[in-house]
Amino acid sequence: MFASVRSTTLLGVVGRAVDVEVHVGIGLPGFTIVGQPDEVCRESRDRVRAAFLSRGFTWPNRRITVNLAPSGERKGGSGLDLAIAVAVLIADEQLAVDVATKYAFVAELGLDGSLRDVVGAAPLVGAIRDHRVVVAGANAAAARAAGAREVLIATDLAHMVACLRGEAQWQTCDDAEPQLPDDKLPDLCDVRGQPVARLALEVAAAGAHHTLLVGPPGAGKSMLARRLPSILPALSDEQVLSCTMVHSAAHVAMHASGRVRHAPFRSPHHSISLVGLIGGGSAAMRPGEISLASEGVLFLDELGEFAPSVLDALRQPLEDGVVHVSRARTTLVFPARFLLIAAANPCPCGAGTPGICVCDDAARSKYLRRFSGPLLDRFDLRVSVGLPKVDDLVDGVNGESSAMVKQRVLAARQMAERRGGCTNAAIAINDLDRFAPLAPAARAMLRRELEVGRLSGRGLHRVRRVARTIADLDGAPDIVGEAHVATALQLRTSLTVLSGGRR
C-alpha cells in the first residue's frame, strides 16, 4: 500500500514543503529512507519503530520504503518523524487512506511515542501555512507566530491517532495573543553625562548610520551600545516575522510569545569564526550573527580583537543587506539588514590621551593595521567616547530617558521616510543634492575639508548623510546648515595620527 503525507524541512532560514511517501509492500522485512536524508533523518527509522511498539501499534513486518519528495534536495532534521509514522500507519492500513490529507506534521518522536519539539519550528511551519499543522506543545507558539491557519497539539502518537480517527479532541492553543509581560530593555537614562556619545547614538538610531565608538576602557562604550535598541522604532509585522524565522531557525531563545518583539541586539564575542558571523556550516546551514541581528543591532565589542578576515567579510553584507552563502551543494540567502555598532580602544594601551598614552609608533601602527580602511570607511559615525566625569557618576542626575529620545528618533525617521522613502543612511549619492541641499557656508566647510585632504570622496557622502540626519533631529527638514555639517564632521573623528588624520 502507498501513502503520502505533508511535512517540511529546513533550508537555512526558510522551510521547504516535503511530501513523505511510504510504500509498504512484499519483500524481505526492511526499512529504507530515500530522497537524500541526512544522518538525523535516517535515524528516524529507529525512533518511529520504537514509538510504534511502545504505544501498542503493530509494526508492519514487510518491506517499507520511505521517499522524501522532491528527492533532489537534501533533507535534514528530526521534524519528519511524525509524518513518517503517520504515513506508515496509513500505508499499513491501520488508518484510513484520506484522514491526513488536510494535515501537515512537524514533530520529533520520542522512543515512548511522545511528540517532541523541533528546531526552527517557525520557518518549518511557515512553508505549510494552509494546512492544519500538528506540532508538539512546545512548538505551538512558534507555529502560531509563523502564521499557520490552524495549530493542533498532540501529546503522543496514540493521542494523535485517536484525534485523526475522531475518537479524541486535539489540544489547541487559544487564538487570543496571551498578555505576556514585556522584556525590560536597558534605558538610556542610566547614562549620565556623555553628551556627544548620546547624540551619536540618537543620530545612529534616527538615520540608521553604522557607528564606531572609540574610547578608553571604562568609558561606557558597551553600556551605550546596549541602550540602542531602546530608542529604535518598533518592528513592523513583516520585520517581526522575518526576525522570528531567523531566530527560530538558529534555535535562539525568544520571548514567550514565540515572536521577536524588539529590534534584536547581538553581541558576539571577538573569538567568533567567519561562519559563525556570516552563516553557513557543513551539516545544516545555519544563519550567522549578522542574520540574527537583521532588523536590529550587531554590536562588535573590541573591534581590534576580531580576526581581520572575519571583519572584512562584513563589507559585502553591509552594502547589500543580504548575504549569499554558497557551498558545494547549495546556495542560501540570509537576511543581513543590521545596524553595526562597534567599539574599539584608541591604541593598545587604551589611554589615547596625548602625554598619558605609552604606546610608541610601532605598537600604534601595528594596532591600527588591524582595521582595514574599507571597513572603517563604512562607519558613518566615528565617535570618541571619553571617560565619564566623576561629578556625573557620583552626583549627576539621570540622563534623558529612552522614551523621550525615541520620540525624536521616530519624528526624524518619518521625515526621512516622507522625503526619500528610505533611511538617511541609504540615500543614493545622486539624490544627495535633492534630499540634503547644503547652505553656502556648509558647502564651503566641506570644500575646505576636501582641499586639505582630510575628507575622502566617499567620506564626503557619508558626512552629508549624517548632516542630513542631524538637521532632521534639529527640526530643519530642508537645508542642511553649517552647524549640522560641523557636527557631522565632529562625529567622524579620525582614528589615527598615522593616516594623516583622514576622515
Partner 1 sequence: MTNTHEHVVAAAVAALPLVGPQRLRTLVGGLGAVDAWRTIRGELAAHDHIAALLAQHDLRRIWRKAATDDMLTRTEQSLIDNDIAVVLATDPHYPAVLRGDHAAPAVLFVRGDLNVFQRRRVGVIGTRAASAAGRHFARQIARDLARNDVAIVSGLARGIDAAAHHGVLDAHDAHDAASSIATQCAPPIAVVATGLDVVYPREHATLWNAVAECGVIISESPPGCGPDAFRFPLRNRILAAASEVLVVVESRAAGGSMITVEEALQRSITVMAVPGSPHSEVSAGTNHLISQGAATVCDATDVLVALGLDHRHHAASTDTRVPPAPGERVVLDVLAQRPLTFDQLVAQLCLPITEVALRLGRLEAQGWVVANAGWWEALVRR
Give the interface with partner 1 as residue ranges (CB under 8 A). 193-197, 199, 214, 346, 352-355, 360-361, 384-386, 389, 445, 448, 470, 474, 482-487, 489-490, 493-498, 501
Kindly tell me which of 91 and 409 has the beta carbon lying closer to partner 1.
Answer: 409
Kindly tell me which of 252 and 393 has the beta carbon lying closer to partner 1.
Answer: 393
Four-residue CA torsion sign, 490, 492, 495, 497: negative
The amino acid sitting at 225 is A
CB of 497 to partner 1, least distance (A): 5
- Strand pairing report for 211-214 and 115-116: unpaired
Kindly tell me which of 355 and 421 has the beta carbon lying closer to partner 1.
Answer: 355
What H or E segment, with its residue span, contains residue 72? Answer: none
434 contacts: CB under 8 Å, gap ≥ 6: none
Kindly tell me which of 242 and 487 has the beta carbon lying closer to partner 1.
Answer: 487
Query: Per-residue DSSP letters for 400-426?
Result: --HHHHHHHHHHHHHHHHHHHSS-GGG
Kindly tell me which of 355 and 457 has the beta carbon lying closer to partner 1.
Answer: 355
Four-residue CA torsion sign, 359, 360, 366, 369: positive
Cis preceding linkage at 70, omega within 30: yes
CB of 248 to partner 1, least distance (A): 41
CB of 486 to partner 1, least distance (A): 4
CB of 188 to partner 1, least distance (A): 16
Phi, psi of 437 (to 5 degrees): -65, 145
What is the rounded distance in angstroms from the CA atom of residue 224 to the CA atom of residue 201? 8
CB of 149 to partner 1, least distance (A): 53
Query: Per-residue DSSP letters for 151-218?
Result: EEE-SBHHHHHHHHHTSSPPEE--SSPP--PPPPPP-GGG--S-HHHHHHHHHHHHHT--EEEE--TT
Kindly tell me which of 183 and 360 has the beta carbon lying closer to partner 1.
Answer: 360
Kindly tell me which of 108 and 202 has the beta carbon lying closer to partner 1.
Answer: 202
CB of 401 to partner 1, least distance (A): 19
Q: CA torsion angle for 273, 277, 278, 281 (degrees, to 10)?
A: 50
CA atoms within 13 A on the CB side of 412: 31
Kindly tell me which of 429 and 497 has the beta carbon lying closer to partner 1.
Answer: 497
Cell numbers for 346, please give them.
584608541
CB of 383 to partner 1, least distance (A): 8
CB of 354 to partner 1, least distance (A): 6
Residue with cell 567579510: 313
CB of 481 to partner 1, least distance (A): 9
Cell numbers for 118, please give them.
523541533
The amino acid sitting at 203 is V
Kindly tell me which of 142 and 219 has the beta carbon lying closer to partner 1.
Answer: 219
